[in-house]
Amino acid sequence: MTAVDLKPLVLAVADTVAAHADELTALDQAIGDGDHGLNMKRGFDAVRAEADALAGKPLPDALKAIGTRLVMTVGGASGPLFGTLFLTLGKELPANPDRAALAAALGKAMEAVAARGKSQTGQKTMLDVLVPVQLALAAGKHGAEIVAVADAAAQSTTPMQAIRGRASFLGERSVGHMDPGARSTALIVRALADAMGGRA
Ligand code: ADP
Ligand code: MG
């Protein structure tokens, strides 16, 4: 068993992604190819199927296994990026992380995603949520505050013009729509915070 009880977290994220798959697909239909909801649902359903085995592993191993599973199942541009996020968290986190360790590991994971995607904030991607969430964690913010930061950060992608990913092909026509990967990242943050209750 891990000190973090992983199973409820895995189930909460998979449930949220499944419940919002149509919404994510609609967002991706507006500025991409309309597969983000299905991509994410396929990936997190695969992770959910392994929830018991994951919960039996030390946290770093479980996170690496989640990352590998996401790379194998999500597909699209987002699969390797979400995979990199979890793989790096698995590499960086100790078995029993405190908040400072979590903030530091998320910092490394976010840098790994940026390197993999050759991307940075302001380009209308998942990084526009990951970076402010990491800063909020590092600044000592807690559950509801971090969720509010993530939601506002996803909203902030609406007026942006996409510079990376498929949406960038639309140029100025990508303006006025929320980025699907930013939205899915904010949904995952909310699911994790809710499932952790007062401990987030
Ligand atoms: P695809 O674009 O291949 O169809 P998805 O629809 O599953 O893949 O994922 C699209 C999301 O991936 C975007 O909304 C964006 O948040 C994210 N994304 C795409 N390219 C990049 C990149 N280079 N860096 C960071 N995030 C990216
Ligand atoms: Mg897509």
Beta strands in 46-181 (DSSP E): none
- pLDDT given at position 177: 98
User: Which of ligand 1's atoms lies nearest the C-alpha of 179?
Assistant: 14
Residue 177 identity (one-letter amino acid):
H
- pLDDT given at position 3: 64
CA of 77 relative to ligand 1 center, distance in Å: 5
Residue 55 falls within a domain, yes or no? Answer: yes
Minimal CA–CA distance to 87: which of 105, 56, 66, 59? 66
- Structurally, the chain folds into a number of domains equal to 1
Residue 200 falls within a domain, yes or no? Answer: no
Averaged pLDDT in 10-residue chunks for the chain of 200 residues: 79 98 98 98 98 96 98 97 98 94 97 98 98 97 96 98 97 97 98 86
Q: For a ligand 1 pocket test, name from 78, 120, 184, 187 the mutation site with the most ligand atoms within 8 angstroms of its C-beta.
A: 78
pTM for the full model?
A: 0.97
Q: For a ligand 1 pocket test, name from 27, 31, 36 the mutation site with the most ligand atoms within 8 angstroms of its C-beta.
A: 36
Beta strands in 34-162 (DSSP E): none
- pLDDT given at position 1: 38
Residues with CB under 6 A from ligand 1: 28, 32-33, 35-36, 39, 76-78, 81, 117-119, 125-127, 164-166, 179-182
Residue 76 falls within a domain, yes or no? Answer: yes
Residue 39 identity (one-letter amino acid):
N
Q: What is the CATH number of the domain that holds 35?
A: 1.25.40.340
* Strand, coil or helix: 31: helix
Minimal CA–CA distance to 114: which of 104, 123, 127, 133? 127
Report residue 177 as tokens: 């729509």
Domain of 101 in residue numbering reads as 3-195
Residue 85 falls within a domain, yes or no? Answer: yes
